[in-house]
Amino acid sequence: MDNTSFQAQMVVNHCWGCGEDNEHGLKIRSYWSGDESVCTWQPEDYHSAAASHVLNGGLIATLIDCHCLCTAIAAGYRAEEREIGTGTPIWFATGSLQVSYRNPTPIQAPITVRAQITDQTERRINLNCTLSAKGEERAIAELVAVRVPLEWMQP
């Protein structure tokens, strides 16, 4: 794996899940590993659901969403044969996200999120994603990432 995360190479990312510029965010880190992207993240006790030993489901969706979008952004740069963050910025937003929760996700163990691109055009990238902990699949997802214009990032 490359030792520089996608997120560390992005310019001005304030996202709560993946943004380097959000001091209160999750600050996930995603990397290429062959043809897939991988993120490992350790929950804290305050990330729990109603049962204090289980990770919150909305947070699971956020981890999947952010990891897949950062993968789409990295793939957009790769398709244009550029390093992430160089030249005109590339941004994608979530077009759709379908998450299936398979098993409770323990909060005490590191979480691994893996995404694979299943289809890619200049404007849309489809991804399949798995979230696992303790060697067991906990959630699966499909995400459609849609490329957005630079104006999308302006207030």
Average of per-residue pLDDT across 40-65: 95
Any domain includes 79: yes
Nearest to 101 by CA among 69, 133, 66, 68: 133
Any domain includes 41: yes
Q: What is the pLDDT of residues 129-138, one digit of tens each?
A: 999 999 999 9
Asked if residue 105 has pLDDT above 80, the reply is yes
Asked if residue 14 has pLDDT above 90, the reply is no
Any domain includes 102: yes
Any domain includes 1: no
Range of the domain at 111: 6-153
At 78 the three-state DSSP class reads: helix
Structural domains counted in the chain: 1
Any domain includes 72: yes
Any domain includes 116: yes
Average of per-residue pLDDT across 16-27: 91
What pLDDT, on the 0 to 100 scale, is given for residue 107? 95
Global pTM value: 0.95
For residues 58 and 65, the answer to whether their CB atoms sit within 8 Å is: no
CATH of the domain at 149: 3.10.129.10
Q: Rounded CA gap, 29 and 155, in Å?
A: 26
What pLDDT, on the 0 to 100 scale, is given for residue 153? 80
Q: Work out whether the CA dihedral 54, 110, 116, 26 comes out positive or negative.
A: positive
Give the chain's mean pLDDT: 94
Asked if residue 150 has pLDDT above 80, the reply is yes
